[in-house]
Structure 1
Amino acid sequence: MKRSFILFLLSCSTAAFAQTGEKKNDDAKELDEVVIRGNANKYKEDDASQSLRLKTPLLEVPQNIQVVTIDALKDQQVISMSDGLIRNVSGLVRMEHWGDMYTNITARGSQIQAFRNGFNVVNSYWGPLTEDMSFVKNIEFVKGPAGFMLSSGDPSGLYNVVTKKPTGISKGEASFTMGSFDLYRAALDLDGKLSKNGKLLYRLNMAAQNKKSHRANEYNNRYTIAPVISYQLDDKTKLTLEYNYQRANMSNVGSFYVFAPNDFATLPVDFTTLPSGMPGTVIHDHSVYANLQHNINTNWKLTAQVGRFMYDQEGSSMWPTSVNADGTMIRNVGIWDARSRMTMGQAFVNGDVQTGAIRHRILGGLDMANKDYMADWSQSHNLDDSTKFFDPRNPDLGAPVNGYPQFDRETPLAERAQTGGTIDQAYTSLYLQDELGFFKNTVRLTLAARYTDLKQSQYGGAPDKAQHFTPRAGLSVSIDKETSIYALYDQAFIPQSGILSNGGKVQPMTGNNSEIGIKKEWFGGKWSTNASVYRIIKNNELTSDPTQPVGSGLSIELGQKVSEGIEFDLRGTIAPGLNLVANYAYTDSRLLKVAQSLEDSSIMKVRDIVPGFAKHTANVWLTYQVQEGILRGAGISAGGTFLGDRNTYWDPSPDGKKIDDYLKLDGGLFWQNDKLKITANVFNILNEYLYSGSYYAWLNAYNWQTEAPRNYRVSIAYKF
């Protein structure tokens, strides 16, 4: 009765909005999330978040954009960005896992950019620290170049992590999770008002986790706190202040890599080279946001936000100095202390105006950023020597013969990083877009352009500067109220730093994306499908000069690379209680042209595969919850992931060996009512040997890292 009354009030307020001609604002969307999420479909979103800047419904956007909802994350018991999240979107793979430290998602043949609340938080090739799901509302994946977000970055796309904000509804949720490998996790989510008039709101998320691994001596403990305060200054203006803190205490970075001279997957799934007693790695990750939203009038809205990101790491990484033909090796530990400081600001305006018979959805914005990253990789220590190699066939994980490393940390990191451990970037970028709607907005033409002025340096080199203009054009046509077809042409560029062997000037890497697709809502929007075909071309990418000694620092232009493929995504509520996520992608990434300096080289040839993707990816996740009767609230979940024709991340093996196809099946049971939910899942039900890996020519060895064998998680969540 209470829920029916609330829904009645919500429908009345929606009708009032319609009568006054006003658009639903972000607060109303938050109310929708709180009130009707339980009855609406759990896995489908119709609109992008405010931080993605677009005011166009996703059905009408001429681009492949997929949103992973908080309900999907909870049902799948995803607790961090690197914890099975990618099954929810077509074509995503993680070839180099980096444990639970960095996400590093690959799509359309390249690593995609990492965003948080609309800010590009990439501070180095490896970062940022993977987000804990305790403070995440949803994750948006934008396929292909996205000029409306990317000042610079790989044209394969981006993902945007959207954090939880106050909703204005007093509520809370406490949860506890336990599972295999000594996983113990507690989380708390509080949401409510700090003033009686509802102008001052808060949201507080906290989590603590202890977690070991299927490999000996590994651990990853996480602690998170994320308070948010919003204040409605007046009827038109809202200020939101947010702070996220993550602390990670983990074992040595890189210990999960396994090396062997002859083939992949030749050692037990739980094999490790990590000795007991090895000092671990500690990471502190702080992010602070201030966001101001001002409704100028019913047609125009201004958003301005600033972000400060501070990252500190003290630790080390394991990597062998050598791997012998019989499999024995010398293990090495290298220092990895790092510090990152990023300050970013954005201001953008959204407008919706009519000129005659043409509707204009206007987006204009300014992006500015200053990023500084420094790291010490200059110190290393061999754990073994030629008098006593480490033998994987008879591993001794006790104290190593050469003892544990004693690194110099008395010298300030800024001094230690000057030997080649600095990455700096600063840019200013302007963006303007007009989406013109014709024939009662059934035909939409998007015309846009971005101008970026950027300066950066890497690894102690001289600063490189670049100014670049990137156009964007898209067409979306509504066949009916539930179907649209689209075409897109967009460009991107990535400034590069290095020294060319021929003494020439380093040019930015440029890329363009051509894409067509069809989007359809089914049965009144309960579920949706999205199918797309794309082609991405990248020019002028730098690579080390194969004719020069290793470590020379000299580079050449690789040539031209092409990635092309098809993608299909389905998500939503298929029938009452039945929710489904299913997707498939075909990806092919190859060299289209070889630079002139490589034409006589046997290393790179036209049509050679660009490493780091799976040609076929397919995923499914299904949940069914009983709607009536004595079993009401009980449900079952099942899912699977298949990766076929995988390509290694670095070098092709000399004998043509490839990593195996990948098949993982998961499933579980759950029960819930209005207050309580109990979830139990088993992962890798078939107990398959799951891994990803590559070949490293300079070590003459295969390298891989395994995923956990069959394991389980049980969680209980209580809403109040």
Structure 2
Amino acid sequence: MSVSDTCAQTGSLNGQILTSDGQPAEFVNVGIKDLQIGTITDAKGHFRIKKVPAGNYILYVQLIGYSAIEQYIEVKGETTVPAISLKENAQVLQELLVKGNTNRFAQKESEYIARLPLKNMENPQVYNVVSKEIMQEQIVTDYKSAFKNIPGANSGVSHSSNGRYMNVTRGFNLGNAARNGVGTSSVAEIDPANLERIEAIKGPSGTLYGASLSTFGGLFNRVTKKPFDVFKGQVSLTTGTWNLNRLTADINTPLNDEKTVLFRINTALHGEKSFQDAGFSKTYLVAPTLSIKVNDRLSVLFDAELYGRKGTNIYGNTIASTNVQVSSIDHLKIGYRQSFTNNSIIATTRTQNLYSQINYKISSQWTSQTNIGNSLVEFEFPAMTLNTITDSTVTRNIWDQYTRQVATQVQQNFIGDFKIAGFRNRIVAGLDYSSVNFDFPNTRGAVYDTVNFINPGKRYAAISINEIKNKVAAVTVNSGSSAKYNYMGAYFSDVFNLAENLMVMLSLRVDRFDNKGSYSYTANTTTGLYKQTALSPKFGVVYQPVKEKVAIFANYMNGYQFVAPVNQPDGSVSNFKPQFANQTEAGVKFDVLDNKISATISYYDIKVVNQLRTDMERDPVNGNRFQIQDGNQTSRGIDFELIINPVYGLNILAGYAYNASKLEKANENVNGRRPTNSGAENTANLWASYRLTSGAAKGLGLGAGFNYSGEQFVINNSAREFTIPAYTVMDATVFFEQPGYRIGLKLDNLNNERYWNTSLQPQTPRRFSASVTIKF
């Protein structure tokens, strides 16, 4: 077959590759034989080959190690070929991807990041993705372990009373309030069994996500598993050190012959003991998902997460007293394996997340998407915190509390993809409504006792649940309260092509925050009612000097936090403006050599304004000081990620983050210093895995990596400093994967590093775990 002589006109070739069971076929080579040009399919099996001269050709579709499928085609302008089906089903294709030369860690494409069909190379924002494949390879059994793969994500803050996990990125604390792009509870533990991926969206992202989901450092969006149209499943058992026992199941099936009703369920049972002298946790997860395709235009998705936890808890340790002379947690001679509790002090948690999505195709250019989410979290516990008061003693502070949080979000998006005067526009216009209710009806606390942690004696072990209840019951003051606030937001974002390789993003959001106040059960009064409005713009530009392979980008992004009124010492009330963070960023993204090398490097500069600080010039007789709103903070740094697949079977993920945070206009004792709990200045991560792709031992693989975190400040002022020392933690795994099963062995913290998170909780020493997965 020869190329047409009349090829002055050029077009493009589009299509989709499917497996024999109708699943999108990712990482499949597609090309035009006569022209020796081609591409690979994306996560949805789509491909596009541009600048093809009009004419007749042979299209080839090829899997690694298999003969190519060839098909005659004719290109006339924008040409779309009918979907092409492979002989192999989804399971066989997955095996080929496991064995073949694919960059398995570079799965960047997402429908949530920009709320638009926007590829990573077209997006002027930096983000990282942790896929379920990486989590499986690393035998991840808890949510926070997945964050080892995100550049700049420090050990964060973990509150074991309710399992809440927070993280530090770009110098700011980040919660986990986004699930499938919609708000959910950020104060409960998360089981990774139902996760398809974790998306770390970097930088203040108030324009699309608002202040309820994002912070000045960005946000984490967890994407849950969705059903597909073939029967498939797997069951995994993991066991390990300290009585780790974990059973998970993932079962997917169509419910009708037409495969328009699909069902998937993920479950987990988890139990383990602490490495310390006391402590345990038992959890369960049930997560069903139902997808209904009503017709070619309308589809509906329902899913739920039902989670429960029962176990001991310790909030962590605070260094509040100036009588503590040492300047670092590793110099404090508190026992690494001392829990200061026993297994009778038990807390319970119950979490319920309900979610639905309705997609309606209005036309070939417009889609309506409606998201509705509701989350309920309940805690009931006696809890304990530690307060170090000298270099040898701590107080054990006890609490009796019941907590209930209910969060509801309704989100409506209209998504368009069309041309105006030849310029392509991709638009999302949306509305957000969020309502959050907190209730702490019974909150009482007391000091239980003081313990010498160097020579604890019998007093250390004397703690009992009955004595805790008696002490708390004697407290007459109930500090319980309830609170409610609502958000209403409207946003618009347009990505338009000034040229084929030049894109500009313009976005704007307006948010109205309505704080209904805090009600005190003791005083029978409501205080803190206020309303504020914020505007959040976002601009971005992407230029691709090499189309879809090299992208130079820059952005201006904005985030905000609402600020409550303050009662001043003279009896007046000051109403403040929202606090804003403005980021400028520039960088380069690479996706070259058929996706074998994917990289992002950027420099960002975040400036926070409107922070509250003390007015040192106004000092009333009573010694209190006025609060004024002219404080500034800067956070500057570098984000780098490299994902490569240099040879068959070898995949490497590496990252580095540098962050310089400073309070530039603040109270005298902290001015010019790094804020506490802003993470480490330098962090680095690496994970490399290699698996044999041929021979008698094909499917055998090993992986190894490390995480480094520099020194972190817990206290940093002119009077004193208290730090967490730098640490390096190394992990290693070996595995054997076949079509019907997978066996994995893992050593976490194989160098047995002693390190702490920012709650000053000792982290897990060397731990062995083994996992067996049966696939069907």
TM over 0.5: yes
User: Could you list the per-position Cα deviations for residues 89-146 of structure 1 after superposition, in whole angstroms to 9, with x for gaps in the alignment?
Assistant: 1111134232481121110111124211111335xxxx33232111110011110122
User: Counterpart of 2:728?
Assistant: 663
Q: Any residues of structure 2 matched to 1:596-611 within 5 Å, and which?
A: 598=667, 602-609=668-675, 611=677
Give me the whole-angstrom Cα distance separating, in 2, the residues matched to 1:182 and 1:521: 43
- Which stretch of structure 1 is more off in the superposition, 71-80 or 554-563? 554-563
Quote the Cα distance in structure 1 between the aligned partners of 2:342 and 2:435.
40
Given that 1:334 and 1:380 are in contact with CA atoms closer than 8 Å, whether structure 2 keeps it comes out as yes
Tell me the residue number matched to 1:118.
181
Per the alignment, do residues 44 and 705 of structure 1 end up closer, same or farther by CA in structure 2, a change over 3 Å counting?
Answer: same
Pick from 564, 567, 574 the counterpart of residue 636 of structure 2.
Answer: 564
Residue 98 of structure 1 is matched in structure 2 by 159
How is 1:219-230 mapped onto 2 (pairs within 5 angstroms)?
219-230=280-291
Query: Structure 2: how far apart are the matches of 1:271 and 1:653?
Result: 32
Using a 3 Å threshold, how does the CA distance of structure 1 residues 14 and 271 change in structure 2: closer, same or farther? closer
Q: Is the 8 A contact 1:17 1:23 kept in 2?
A: no
* Cα distance, 1:339 vs structure 2: 0.4
Q: Aligned-pair distance for 1:383?
A: 2.7
Distance 1:213 1:574 in 2: 40
2:345 maps to which residue? Answer: 279
- Specify the alignment match of 1:333 in structure 2: 398
1:469 positional shift: 1.4
Structure 2 counterpart of 1:318:
384
> Quick one: distance in 2 between partners of 1:32 and 1:664?
36
Query: Is 2:444–2:472's contact at 8 Å kept on the other side of the alignment?
Result: no
Q: For residue 435 of structure 1, what is the amino acid of its counterpart?
A: V
| Residue 717 in structure 1 maps to residue 773 in structure 2 | yes
User: Hey, what's the Cα distance between the residues in 2 that align with 1:653 and 1:77?
Assistant: 44
Is 1:448 the counterpart of 2:507 in the alignment? yes
Secondary structure in 1 matching 2:586:
strand
The counterpart of 2:658, out of the listed 577, 586, 598, is 586
Count of residue pairs brought into register by the alignment: 684
Match of residue 232, structure 1, among 287, 290, 293: 293
Q: 1:150 aligns with which of 171, 185, 209?
A: 209
CA distance in 2, matches of 1:317, 1:558: 38
Q: Is the 8 A contact 1:95 1:612 kept in 2?
A: no
CA shift in 2, pair 1:118/1:554, >3 Å: farther
The partner residue of 1:625 within 688, 691, 701 is 691
Q: Within 1, Cα distance between the matches of 2:82 and 2:688? A: 31
| 1:74 to 2:136 alignment | yes
Cα 1:629–1:257 shift into 2, 3 Å: farther
DSSP 3-state at the match of 2:277: coil
Name the counterpart of 1:160: 221
Residue in 1 that maps onto 2:747: 682
Shift of 1:79: 2.1
Q: Does the aligned pair in 2 maintain the 1:384–1:401 contact within 8 Å?
A: no
1:696 corresponds in structure 2 to none
- Distance in 2 of aligned mates of 1:23 and 1:146: 38
Secondary structure, aligned partner of 1:692: coil
1:215 shift after superposition? 0.8
Where is the strand percentage greater, Structure 1 or Structure 2? 2
Judged with a 3 Å threshold, the aligned counterparts in structure 2 of structure 1 residues 117 and 5 are, in CA distance, closer, same or farther, namely: closer
Query: Matched residues in 1 for 2:625 and 2:304: separation?
Result: 40
Is 1:384 paired with 2:449? yes
Residue 404 in 1 paired to residue 474 in 2? no
- Aligned match of 2:492 in 432, 447, 450? 432
Deviation by residue 1:239-261 (Cα, 9 ceiling, x = unmatched): 01111111011202326789976
Q: Helix, strand or coil for the counterpart of 2:121?
A: helix
CA distance in 1, matches of 2:691, 2:622: 58
CA displacement 1:40-96 (0-9 Å, x = unmatched)? 4321214113585121101110000111111011111112222x2222111111342
Letter in 2 for 1:658: T
In 2: Cα distance, 1:256 partner to 1:462 partner: 30
1:620 partner letter: L
Q: CA deviation at 1:554?
A: 7.7
Candidates 101, 107, 120, aligned match of 1:58: 120
1: CA distance, partners of 2:386 / 2:46: 66
Relative to structure 1, the CA distance from residue 649 to residue 321 in structure 2 (aligned partners, 3 Å threshold; closer, same or farther) is: closer
Distance 2:624 2:90 in 1: 58
SS in 2 for 1:149: helix
Contact (CA 8 Å) 2:409, 2:433: kept in 1 or not? yes
Q: What are the superposed Cα offsets for residues 685-717 of structure 1, whole Å, 9 maximum, x if unpaired?
A: 111211234xxxxxxxxx722111111111011
Partner of 2:761: 705
Change (3 A) 1:402 1:488: closer
The AA in structure 1 aligned to 2:510 is Y
Q: 1:383 to 1:137 in 2, by over 3 A?
A: same
Partner Cα distance (2:742, 2:335) in 1 = 33
Match of 1:315, SS?
strand
Give me the whole-angstrom Cα distance separating, in 1, the residues matched to 2:681 and 2:233.
43
1:503 corresponding residue in structure 2: 573
- 1:192-241 residue CA offsets vs partner (Å, 9 max, x unmatched): 10111101100100100111111122112110000011110001111011
Quote the residue 2:57 is aligned against.
none
The letter for the 2-side match of 1:540 is: N
How far is the alpha carbon of 1:718 from its aligned partner?
1.1
Q: RMSD over aligned Cα, in angstroms?
A: 3.4
Percent identity, please: 22
Cα distance in 2 between the residues matched to 1:630 and 1:551? 79
CA distance in 1 between counterparts of 2:252 and 2:464 reads 54
1:16 to 1:544, Cα distance in 2 relative to 1, 3 A? closer
Q: Distance in 1 between matches of 2:335 and 2:688?
A: 28
1:548–1:630 Cα change, 3 Å: farther
TM-score (norm 1): 0.87
Deviations 1:333-363, CA, capped at 9 Å, x for gaps: 1123210011110010111111123110111
Report SS of the residue matched to 1:74.
helix
| C-alpha distance 53-33 of structure 1, shift in aligned 2 (>3 A) | farther
**2:193 is paired with a residue of what secondary structure?**
helix
Change (3 A) 1:683 1:237: same
List gaps (5 residues or longer) in structure 2: 1-17, 31-43, 50-74, 520-526
Quickly say closer, same or farther: Cα 1:35–1:426, change in 2 above 3 A. farther
In structure 1, the gaps of 5 or more residues are: 694-702
Give the distance between the partners of 1:470 and 1:9, measured in 2 at CA.
37
CA contact (8 A) 2:752 2:766 kept: yes
Structure 1 stretch displaced more, 276-285 or 577-586:
276-285
Distance 1:372 1:7, change over 3 A: closer
What is aligned with 1:136?
195
- Which residue of 1 is the match for residue 370 of structure 2? 304
Query: Residues 45 and 549 of structure 1: is their aligned pair in 2 closer, same or farther, counting only changes over 3 Å?
Result: farther
Query: Does the 8 Å CA contact 2:603/2:637 hold for their aligned counterparts?
Result: yes
> TM-score scaled to structure 2, two decimals?
0.81
- Does the Cα contact within 8 Å between 1:499 and 1:553 map onto a contact in 2? no
Deviates more, 1:250-259 or 1:445-454: 250-259
Q: Distance in 1 between matches of 2:491 and 2:465?
A: 56
Please say if residues 498 and 554 of structure 1, whose CA atoms lie closer than 8 Å, have aligned partners that are also in contact.
no
| Rounded Cα–Cα distance in structure 1 between residues aligned with 2:163 and 2:431 | 31
Offset at residue 269 of structure 1 (A): 5.6
Q: 1:181 matched to which residue of 2?
A: 242
8 Å CA contact retained: 2:369, 2:413: yes
1:530 matched residue in structure 2:
600
